[in-house]
Structure 1
């Protein structure tokens, strides 16, 4: 899940990236196919570090079998890029996505529905790096392809809808972000019911828009619902649960409910450290939020200590 800067320093997430969960193009029972299935199970569980070597080996085997530019490489390249993205390794993920996109455009044409996934992923990578002018057209193109090929109410369109909304939220353009979040949430709820875990990020992002309009009660209701659904689906230590804790903490901090906010931020930090490791970019945002909370209370020594750690993480993960 990726951080989205807001005036309250809340790290609101963009929707999870697309991993190609369809059947591999080659037989599932060869070595590369078996590795891919194992990798996807780990990915679903949020175990990105454990999934990474399996994705790397699967891609190597496919390259050896088919060559570097075959259509069969597009899915493994996308999947490996997505794992690197979730580990905060943006500079590694970008060329993998670009390579996957080039292969798909060459082999399938510029408007094939399978391009939408990679366009979404590359667009959200640029959003995470605050390269908004590059992110927006890719996400719009992903939406247009999905609408044309699958219709406006297919659940697969929600990824790019949410991530484009996140681009606008990052820029403070909440009037443009809110309808995208609402549309995405309505599509998912209609297709999968009210407790689909993918919908929780949209709940959080819509809550962020409400927060900036001082509609705090509506925001709190959405954030609590998102956290409950996420924890039920993934368990207490999943990265999405950590993100949900941060989002609710940010709301409480804005309302002056400092003790509740501090408790939730600390739970978020612990969950992220456990699931993503001590140097992930998302952790830097949560630490920044906690430092801001301490500063608002006049706890400057605590704020400085936490902010120092946040800055150290950013220095390690900032794109070159």
Structure 2
């Protein structure tokens, strides 16, 4: 006879979609997640099974997608620790769990912890799976992204260039992970001030993602956002505003109003309006956005902090514009 815990784990695992990053799966995950978390809260991690670890790992990925980073990290850490205990440190599932935990720390802005885990994971993946394994390439990409977020472009750009070349060779030009590598390299070039190469890569990537993934795929929307940001940096606010407004409408429709990427599109739209000389309209957009971000993500989320900073800049610019000239 099955135990109640084992039966609950089996039923939830069977119902849980396999791709937590797929928006089509999110309605199912939203119904399941309270039950998964209740199961986790009422069971001892020391008794977790492989099936339980897999369920918690998927739940953690879904929570990370939704911007619920504290609970995401809790589930991903438990999944990783369970996999390491049950399967061993070198098992591919354990290495994948560590990658997912590092990525959640990265999303939460804990870059020191993320880089530590990614560096450890890359060394182990190179040893266990080899340099061309897709998981090795994913971890190298994530480590490079963490370096970029920390401002270390000297380490980030060579890794991203190497990873794009390897993914082109191993996976092919149209593989979604190859398109991710090209996107990430383009954003790094933008951060380094090489706007011509950044725009060229983003334009190529947007065309390819529209063809391969379709206009509503989250990665297509990400590329359009990043191209708009590159246009803005290059001093082309007209094209930047047009793309940001289109992307915001599409993200509202596809992802919903509280998704972190939708909130980020609202932030980028307001920011470009402020930079283009319309601080009044920017303040009007930032004020409700800050309230929504703090409600959906929490006041301490990195995006909420960025919005708060941008609102202060817009208010200062608006006050300066209203001040009588001497």
Q: TM-score, normalised by structure 2?
A: 0.78
Match of 1:114, SS? helix
Residue in 1 that maps onto 2:163: 142
Aligned residues of 2:248 and 2:266 also touching (Cα < 8 A) = yes
Q: How does 1:151-230 map to 2 (within 5 A)?
A: 151-230=172-251
Match of 1:185, SS? helix
Alpha-carbon distance between aligned partners in 2 of 1:253 and 1:78, rounded to the nearest angstrom: 37
1:69-88 Cα distance to aligned partner (Å, 9 max, x none):
33332100000011111111
1:133-179 Cα distance to aligned partner (Å, 9 max, x none):
01111111221121011111222112222222222212222112111
Residue in 2 that maps onto 1:69: 90
How many aligned residue pairs are there? 277
Alpha-carbon distance between aligned partners in 2 of 1:94 and 1:156, rounded to the nearest angstrom: 20
Q: 1:145 to 1:196 in 2, by over 3 A?
A: same
Alpha-carbon distance between aligned partners in 2 of 1:279 and 1:47, rounded to the nearest angstrom: 11
Aligned residues of 2:225 and 2:243 also touching (Cα < 8 A) = yes
Q: 1:271 to 1:168 in 2, by over 3 A?
A: farther
Q: How does 1:18-167 map to 2 (within 5 A)?
A: 30-167=51-188
Match of 2:193, SS? coil
- 1:104 is displaced (CA, Å) by 1.1
Aligned residues of 2:67 and 2:260 also touching (Cα < 8 A) = yes
- Of stretches 277-286 and 164-173 in structure 1, the one that deviates more from structure 2 is 277-286
- 1:245 is displaced (CA, Å) by 0.7
Aligned residues of 1:69 and 1:103 also touching (Cα < 8 A) = yes
- 1:267 is displaced (CA, Å) by 3.2
Q: TM-score, normalised by structure 1?
A: 0.79
- 1:247 is displaced (CA, Å) by 0.7
- 1:21 is displaced (CA, Å) by 7.0
Alpha-carbon distance between aligned partners in 2 of 1:180 and 1:92, rounded to the nearest angstrom: 30
Residue in 1 that maps onto 2:46: none
Larger radius of gyration: 2
Alpha-carbon distance between aligned partners in 2 of 1:195 and 1:57, rounded to the nearest angstrom: 33
Match of 2:250, SS? helix
Unaligned runs of 5+ in 2: 1-18, 23-48, 322-326
Alpha-carbon distance between aligned partners in 2 of 1:117 and 1:247, rounded to the nearest angstrom: 27
- 1:205 is displaced (CA, Å) by 1.6
Aligned residues of 1:197 and 1:229 also touching (Cα < 8 A) = no
1:245 paired to 2:256: no
1:228-253 Cα distance to aligned partner (Å, 9 max, x none):
22122221111111110111111111
Alpha-carbon distance between aligned partners in 2 of 1:203 and 1:175, rounded to the nearest angstrom: 16
Unaligned runs of 5+ in 1: 1-18, 23-27, 301-320
Higher percent of residues as helix: 2
Q: Which of structures 1 and 2 has the larger relative contact order (alpha carbons within 8 angstroms, sep 6+)?
A: 1
Alpha-carbon distance between aligned partners in 1 of 2:20 and 2:283, rounded to the nearest angstrom: 37
- Of stretches 41-50 and 164-173 in structure 1, the one that deviates more from structure 2 is 41-50
Alpha-carbon distance between aligned partners in 2 of 1:231 and 1:195, rounded to the nearest angstrom: 11
